[in-house]
């Protein structure tokens, strides 16, 4: 909390100025708020913002960004704070910009099938409004009850229905953003077809707030799915999962194709609150889902199941016959993450192209197995889109520190293998601070240079969520504190008065 | 032709140097080639390139771009030259880079459902290869027999199936590009999920070759559609089309929803080679298409048709019962463009959000009708995605020059109306040179400044297709580059006032 104290004691005037930009009471500096709003679901970094500001309008957001440029204050966007890469963590004396008070769905258009959302709209809120209108917002994941649309866009959130519906990117018809320079851009105007030059909307999707803030987003909605039906299939081995995917995809339009290992299932069943799908024990399981719009479609599914059994790929299987059964089958997959959290898992969110998944998974298994035969690996994930969640459970007899130290070594092997298979070190969780130093495993140095230059276009003073995606400054904490003091002295001499005259620093 | 003569006469050595970069015979400077490769389907600009170069490898493309940077030679990419905005026209002494010899499909992966294409692959070629494998490449339009994948990406081509399949953007899994600086970037590595920073792939899609050249693209394929079935419905008026769209969309997954006016139909029927859909004459017609996967689906379609008749929206209709009938119904829509070309139509390709279409169309109709009551307006287009093709036919008694002079006035009204309705002045044809001077009707001046700055990142010397999308960046080019470099430096070195360490604190 050093930084914040230095600032607030030395320059209360700066925070006072910030307070004039928003409604009364919409700047918080109490310890509880700083702690709560300074972090996301990652727990690696101690939260240390100097203030939390809650704008209620686009104009207020612009004013905050201009103020930040004037005084070179780092801003961190804050949505539902459910991120898993520390992209919304303020650990270095930043000002957090929370969108909790810009949380209205401004319009729903049934002809266009769109909903105009402020960035603080909670995912579930949008899903519910869509449902009330007989429509559907299909991007769904564990944190949909608290994650916000602005954050979803910032990380291009994925989830469990990507095989059919794609990522958040597919559902952004248009958006208004305030750039790091404070300019308001209205991107794409909600059009389906618009061939008028660079689609900058796409740049802001997945940018983790490093280019600017989303202040409004028009989200597309889909028709409601009909009679969703799930199958859980036990396969003979991992290699059988791919032909099963192939067989079903050629007969049905799947809405999901997930997988998990016997170890994952065993942990979930041990809870005692979810029924086993069937009696047979299999090394791997696939959960697939489709719309059984007609009896014929359900019959296609059963025929394909029989074909997969005849081929020796599938050993046993079950198909849901009711909504309750559908939900129970989904619990087998959805409860994994929460269940294994008991074992302090080392988690990784990686992807390769679908066809490379079997070889990739085997190679990681072999590496970890060879070096750490006592480590239990739990695999699960969205295999229909190549996204694997690798979870290594902490052995009981190993301390947390020892375990994480060993995992750091594993990390390197995993990322080297990801690079070898031309995959991604972050499939859907983003880079933030946790993956930042590994970015070169997925993006070439030249590519990263272009990314930095693109950032410079939208955020020339580097005030937007600095230190996320890219490192900004290397050095020790002391360097930073010294630098901070020097900067504070410089303010005393020059900048602050410049700021008050309303002149932007170039 | 001045520019070209100046360059080729003054610097024959320059072209000789270019020849050393590619295979023998792969630089052409004869008049026929310059004329053929210097233009697209627009006929407003006289082609005047100085040479056509045909690279066969990525390395050759890089060498050409580096050579162009060294000598500040403007490059124009050339695909199938079917563009409708003069984006691939070389009218100012440029060197045309044709991808005719990079035309191989390098790989098809059935598990990933992808095809790795060189940029010169013809759209139809990809469609055929997909079909051979039981798959489907769904982006389809009139010029698919000669347009190339590189060009499709450059303009983010749309076409007749966008309502179901989206634009070309949706089908680019990954691509390799050579930037305007000559760097090779491998963008997205064909992954479905990849949350590792800015998705620069998206910037190159629709950039009309102004940022760099696509040298390889991995295109996604879909399952083949099943039992495609079309309906043509005659509606009571234009306002009835929207509720009809709404009714069918709530019951069926449409693969197309097109419309055309009675005038458009009359012209096509007058050819004598396409049967009328039914006897009734209606002011407007909708053509919709869906997969009749089961009898039940077809029954849903018929029930919806009956509902629309009961509501008074639809006066008559027909549903295809065979593939021949399907194709005949599609001809009613597909032949329009070719048929009306006899009347030298003034064409516009505009879009608004779907819900605004009726009011927008009426306003344009009223404006043209009031000022030019003798002008015949033929409307048709992809109404399911808000994309309207406005065609004004030249009256017999008006000279071409007079007609186009009057149309220039109409143009202004049309674009003002587009702006008023927050629409796009180019839905799917791109900006190129024909829409360049009207860009501010769809993109704000601030947005355009950001677009130019983004261009400067990838093409600092402005050699990539200059004069397309934006007017040629004038003498300030170096200033812009210097300014950008300074910004990058500032950003790299910035120390933040409120602390910035990047050091993990546990």
Rounded mean pLDDT of chain A? 89
pLDDT tens profile A142-201: 889 999 999 999 999 998 899 999 999 999 999 999 999 999 999 999 999 999 999 999
| Residue B299: other Cβ atoms inside 10 A | 11
Number of DSSP helices (H) and strands (E) in chain A, helices first: 18, 18
Task: Name the residue among A208, A250, A477 with its Cβ closest to that of B501.
Answer: A477
Answer for the pair B104, B115: CB distance below 8 angstroms, yes or no.
Answer: no
Alpha-carbon distance B264 to B378, whole Å? 6
Q: Which value does ipTM take for this structure?
A: 0.91
The pairing of beta strand A284-291 with beta strand A254-261: antiparallel
pLDDT tens profile A411-458: 889 999 999 999 999 999 999 999 999 999 999 999 999 999 999 999
B484/A249 touch (CB, cutoff 8 Å), yes or no: no
Band the pLDDT of A10: cuts 50, 70, 90: very low
Look at residue B472 in the predicted model and tell me its pLDDT.
77
| In this structure, CATH architecture of domain A105-223 | 2-Layer Sandwich (3.30)
A195/B428 touch (CB, cutoff 8 Å), yes or no: yes
Burial call B12-36: b when 16+ CB within 10 Å, e when fewer: eebbeebbebbeeebbbbeeebbeb
Q: Measured between CA atoms, how close is A397 to chain B, in angstroms? A: 23
Band the pLDDT of A409: cuts 50, 70, 90: confident
Task: Name the residue among B424, B430, B498 with its Cβ closest to that of A50.
Answer: B498
Task: Name the residue among B200, B425, B503 with its Cβ closest to that of A450.
Answer: B200
Task: List all residues of chain B from 158 to 197 with a beta carbon under 8 Å from chain A.
Answer: 158, 162, 166-167, 169-170, 179, 183-187, 189-197
Look at residue B151 in the predicted model and tell me its pLDDT.
97
Mean pLDDT of B279-284: 95
Look at residue B486 in the predicted model and tell me its pLDDT.
52
Look at residue A318 in the predicted model and tell me its pLDDT.
97
Structure tokens at B94: 């440029």
In A207-253, the DSSP E strands lie at 212-220, 222-223, 228-235
Task: List all residues of chain A from 452 to 471 with a beta carbon under 8 Å from chain B.
Answer: 452-463, 466-467, 469, 471
Structure tokens at A299: 């019959």
B497/A189 touch (CB, cutoff 8 Å), yes or no: no
B454/A455 touch (CB, cutoff 8 Å), yes or no: no
The residue with greater pLDDT, B477 or B60, is B60
Answer for the pair A459, A180: CB distance below 8 angstroms, yes or no.
Answer: yes
Whether residue B43 has pLDDT greater than 80: no
Question: Residue A178 pairs with which residues in a beta bridge?
Answer: A184, A213
Look at residue B341 in the predicted model and tell me its pLDDT.
87
Q: Does domain A344-429 have CATH number 3.30.70.2740?
A: yes
Structure tokens at A435: 């993956």
Q: CA Rg, chain A, in Å?
A: 24
Q: Measured between CA atoms, how close is B12 to chain A, in angstroms? A: 34
A472/B457 touch (CB, cutoff 8 Å), yes or no: no
Task: Name the residue among A162, A439, A471 with its Cβ closest to that of B197.
Answer: A439
Rounded mean pLDDT of chain B? 90
pLDDT tens profile B377-411: 999 999 899 999 999 999 989 998 899 888 888 88
Burial of B198 by CB count in 10 Å (0-12 exposed, 13-18 middle, 19+ buried)? buried
Among chain B residues, CA nearest to A194 = B427
Chain B CB contacts of A387 below 8 Å: 192-193
Alpha-carbon distance A269 to A276, whole Å? 7
Chain A CB contacts of B352 below 8 Å: 191
pLDDT tens profile B410-419: 888 999 999 9
Chain A CB contacts of B114 below 8 Å: 353
Answer for the pair B113, B164: CB distance below 8 angstroms, yes or no.
Answer: no
Helix (H) or strand (E) holding B76: strand B75-78
Chosen from A6, A136, A161, A192 to mutate, greatest number of chain B CBs within 10 A: A192
A192/B491 touch (CB, cutoff 8 Å), yes or no: no
Lowest mean pLDDT among A219-228, B6-15, B156-165, B249-258: B6-15
Chosen from B498, B504, B506 to mutate, greatest number of chain A CBs within 10 A: B498
Mean pLDDT of A201-219: 98
Any idea where the domains of chain A sit in the sequence?
Answer: 2-100+454-500, 105-223, 228-337, 344-429
Chosen from B382, B502, B506 to mutate, greatest number of chain A CBs within 10 A: B502
Mean pLDDT of B123-132: 98
Look at residue B226 in the predicted model and tell me its pLDDT.
93
Q: Per CATH, which fold does A2-100+454-500 belong to?
A: 3.30.43
- Residue whose C-alpha is closest to residue A7's, from A26, A25, A34: A34
Look at residue B473 in the predicted model and tell me its pLDDT.
58
pLDDT tens profile A381-399: 998 999 999 999 999 899 9
Burial call A441-450: b when 16+ CB within 10 Å, e when fewer: bbbeeebbeb
Alpha-carbon distance B398 to B403, whole Å? 6
Task: Name the residue among A44, A250, A450 with its Cβ closest to that of B223.
Answer: A250
Look at residue A44 in the predicted model and tell me its pLDDT.
79
Among chain A residues, CA nearest to B254 = A223
Degrees, nearest 5: CA angle B494-A28-A204: 50
Chain B CB contacts of A505 below 8 Å: none
Burial of A143 by CB count in 10 Å (0-12 exposed, 13-18 middle, 19+ buried)? buried
Whether residue A207 has pLDDT greater than 80: yes
Q: How far is CA B399 from CA B148, B348, B395, in A?
A: 36, 20, 8
Alpha-carbon distance B54 to B169, whole Å? 26
For helices B12-19 and B2-10, angle between their N-to-C axes, nearest 10 degrees = 80
Structure tokens at B221: 């394929």
Chain A CB contacts of B62 below 8 Å: none
- Residue whose C-alpha is closest to residue A113's, from A129, A92, A99, A89: A129
The residue with greater pLDDT, A147 or B12, is A147
Look at residue B501 in the predicted model and tell me its pLDDT.
33
Q: Per CATH, which fold does B2-98 belong to?
A: 3.30.43
In B326-408, the DSSP E strands lie at 346-351, 376-382, 387-393
pLDDT tens profile B173-222: 999 999 999 999 999 999 999 999 999 999 999 999 999 999 999 999 99
Does B228-337 match B344-440 in CATH topology?
yes
Whether residue A497 has pLDDT greater than 90: no
CATH of B344-440, one of 3.30.70.2740, 1.25.40.10, 1.10.3720.10, 3.30.470.10: 3.30.70.2740
The residue with greater pLDDT, A475 or B295, is B295
A198/B191 touch (CB, cutoff 8 Å), yes or no: no
Q: Measured between CA atoms, how close is B85 to chain A, in angstroms? A: 11
Chain B CB contacts of A430 below 8 Å: 195
Q: Measured between CA atoms, how close is A273 to chain B, in angstroms? A: 32
Mean pLDDT of A217-240: 96
Lowest mean pLDDT among A11-20, A51-60, B224-233: A11-20
Handedness of CA B36, B41, B43, B46 (dihedral sign): negative
pLDDT tens profile B336-352: 988 998 888 888 899 99
Alpha-carbon distance B233 to B265, whole Å? 12
Alpha-carbon distance B411 to B337, whole Å? 19
B191/A352 touch (CB, cutoff 8 Å), yes or no: yes
Chain A CB contacts of B255 below 8 Å: none
Alpha-carbon distance B328 to A285, whole Å? 47
For the domain made up of A228-337, the CATH class stated in words is alpha beta
Among chain A residues, CA nearest to B220 = A353
Task: Name the residue among A195, A430, A469 with its Cβ closest to that of B155.
Answer: A195
Band the pLDDT of A8: cuts 50, 70, 90: very low
pLDDT tens profile A272-322: 999 999 999 999 999 999 999 888 899 999 999 999 999 999 999 999 999
A185/B446 touch (CB, cutoff 8 Å), yes or no: yes
Interchain CB contact of A381 with B (< 8 Å):
no
Chain B CB contacts of A170 below 8 Å: 166, 170
Task: Name the residue among B193, B206, B499 with its Cβ closest to that of A195.
Answer: B206
Among chain A residues, CA nearest to B250 = A223
């Amino acid at each position: 909390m050093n930084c914040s104290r230095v600032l607030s004691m030395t320059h209360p005037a700066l925070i006072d100025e910030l307070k004039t930009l928003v409604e009364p009471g919409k700047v918080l500096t109490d310890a509880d708020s700083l702690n709560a709003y300074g972090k996301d679901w990652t727990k690696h970094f101690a939260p240390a913002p100097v203030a939390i500001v809650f704008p209620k309008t686009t104009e207020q957001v612009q004013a905050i960004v201009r103020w930040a440029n004037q005084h070179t204050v780092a801003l961190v966007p804050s949505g539902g704070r459910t991120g898993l890469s520390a992209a919304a963590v303020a650990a270095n004396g930043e000002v957090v910009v929370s969108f909790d008070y810009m949380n209205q769905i401004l319009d729903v258009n049934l002809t266009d099938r769109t909903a105009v959302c402020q960035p603080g709209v909670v995912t579930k809120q949008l899903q519910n409004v869509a449902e009330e209108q007989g429509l559907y917002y299909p991007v769904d994941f564990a944190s949909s009850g608290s994650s916000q649309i602005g954050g979803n866009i910032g990380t291009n959130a994925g989830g469990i229905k990507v095989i059919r519906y794609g990522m958040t990117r597919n559902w952004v018809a248009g958006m208004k953003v305030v750039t790091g320079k404070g300019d308001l851009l209205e991107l794409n105007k909600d059009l389906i077809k618009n061939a008028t030059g660079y689609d900058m909307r796409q740049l802001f999707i997945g940018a983790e707030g490093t280019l600017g803030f989303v202040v409004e987003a028009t989200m597309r909605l889909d028709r409601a799915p009909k009679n969703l039906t799930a199958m859980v299939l036990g396969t003979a081995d991992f290699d059988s999962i791919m032909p099963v995917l192939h067989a079903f995809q050629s007969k049905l339009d799947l809405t999901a194709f997930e997988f998990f290992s016997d170890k994952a299932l065993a942990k979930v069943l041990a809870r005692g609150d979810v029924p086993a799908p069937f009696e047979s024990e299999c090394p791997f399981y696939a959960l697939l889902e489709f719309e059984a719009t007609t009896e014929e479609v359900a019959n296609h599914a059963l025929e394909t199941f029989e074909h997969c059994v005849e081929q020796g790929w599938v050993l046993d299987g079950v198909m849901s016959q009711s909504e309750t059964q559908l939900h129970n089958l989904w619990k087998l997959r959805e409860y994994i993450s929460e269940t294994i959290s008991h074992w302090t898992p080392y988690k990784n969110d990686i992807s390769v192209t679908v066809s490379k998944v079997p070889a990739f998974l085997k190679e990681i298994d072999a590496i970890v197995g060879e070096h750490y035969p006592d480590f239990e690996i739990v695999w699960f994930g969205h295999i229909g889109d190549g996204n694997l969640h690798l979870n290594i459970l902490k052995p009981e007899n190993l301390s947390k520190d020892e375990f994480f130290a060993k995992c750091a070594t594993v990390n390197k092997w995993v990322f080297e293998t990801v690079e070898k298979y031309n995959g991604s070190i972050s499939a859907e969780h983003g880079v933030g601070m946790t993956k930042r130093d590994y970015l070169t495993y997925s993006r070439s140095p030249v590519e990263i240079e272009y990314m930095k230059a693109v950032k410079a276009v939208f955020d020339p003073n580097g005030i937007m969520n600095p230190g996320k995606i890219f490192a900004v400054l290397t050095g020790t904490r002391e360097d930073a504190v010294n630098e901070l003091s020097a900067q504070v002295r410089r303010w005393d001499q020059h900048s602050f008065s410049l700021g008050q005259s309303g002149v932007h620093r170039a």
